[in-house]
Amino acid sequence: MEETLNNLCVLNWEQVKRLDAILTESIPIHGKWNFPTLEMKPRDIVKVVRCRMEERKIHVREVRLNGSAASHVLHEDSGLGYKDLDLIFCADLKGEVEFQTVKDIVLDSLLDFLPEGVNKEKITPVTLKEAYVQKMVKVCNDSDRWSLISLSNNSGKNVELKFVDSLRRQFEFSVDSFQIRLDSLLLFYECSENPMAETFHPSIVGESVYGDFSVALDHLQRKLICTRNPEEIRGGGLLKYCHLLVRGFRAASEAEMKLLERYMCSRFFIDFSDVAEQRRKLESYLQNHFVGLENRKYEYLTTLHSVVNESTVCLMGHERRQTLSLITMLAVRVLAEQNVIPNVANVTCYYQPAPYIADGNFSNYYIAQVQPMYACQPTHTFSPWLPCN
């Protein structure tokens, strides 16, 4: 393939091998209750879903690998690792009918991966959703038309099927901007009778939706944090940014990052405007992104606390204190869960005698909050936002 744009690059043989290993690896999708585990190869679920979409007259333009798995393919020692397997189906989704059809197709496809001997006749789509789907998201507005169905894996390696008609912002930072076009490899699986080799494999193209591919790859290799149009990054970008810091990444430009931190903090408080929403988001992020890395949670939360404390300028003091108190409380709770007695100022641990413990999972320590959680119930409605200077 002749390359005409600098945001594209043809994968080399080592990268192709890593991609092949990801697509042919069997990933367990764990069911709740007594539902059996599904053994699923990414190449197989893509084939089943794509064929059924075409049968239902929903055209799939191409399929791509996205996110940390794509970064791992391009640079094995990136420091990011990868958990979720993000598969993008670029498809024509014009209305609610198409979105519902895609959802039905994915749930129906799960039946194909049930072990032999399971009676499939009485298993409804609702039951499959409750048993195997961790989350479902649908966004439909003027600029974004896409949906996401995430299939559960107990070790955090979820298979995430994303169906995209249009998506204005497809990345947060240059190091997570990579997408790998899978169609040539999927066709090779279908048509070739011989295994791949260094001298015999399809041409597979990678793309950086950030812009220049070589620049983005250099950022990944050197562990640099860089972005463009930071005002477009949604609230979750703050959490991803702090995660990169904990993984050893650093700002490509300290001056630009300080401005970016202010943008991200402001957007976080816009998207998650009250402390209950913030708590749900933070707890969900910790649960989904630190499986097997529980020892990094405390460092992550202290990093987040520092960024919010230094970069939040558009919030009244009361709201800011609430959020900082929430982060502190979660950090201390993480230490308690790990049976570590916190050795920080203003934190007191009270030993809870064993006779009073009714629950076997009860923590041995009761942790007093560093700062009280404020329940804001004003008598008059007011806006917590102040103009930024």
What is the torsional sign of CA 14, 15, 20, 21?
Answer: positive
Give Cα separations from 289 to 31, 138, 213, 364 (angstroms). Answer: 20, 21, 26, 26
**pLDDT for 377:** 39
Q: Return d(Cα 3, Cα 214) in angstroms, integer.
A: 13
Q: Return d(Cα 266, Cα 387) in angstroms, integer.
A: 11
Q: Return d(Cα 191, Cα 193) in angstroms, integer.
A: 7
Q: What share of the chain is helix, strand, coil (3-state, %, to 5)?
A: 45, 15, 40
Residue numbers of the chain with a pLDDT score lower than 50: 1-4, 342, 345, 349-389
* Range 214-219 contact pairs with CB under 8 angstroms and sequence separation of 24 or more: 214/6, 214/9, 215/174, 216/174, 216/175, 216/177, 216/178, 217/9, 217/74, 217/75, 219/173, 219/174, 219/175, 219/252
**pLDDT for 366:** 40
Q: Which residues contact 216 (CB under 8 A, 6 or more apart)?
A: 174, 175, 177, 178, 208, 210
**pLDDT for 374:** 36
**pLDDT for 160:** 97
**pLDDT for 378:** 40
Q: Which residue has the tokens 């250099």?
A: 218
Q: Where are the domains of the chain?
A: 1-222, 226-340
39 and 26 in contact (C-beta within 8 Å)? Answer: yes
pTM for this model (two decimals): 0.83
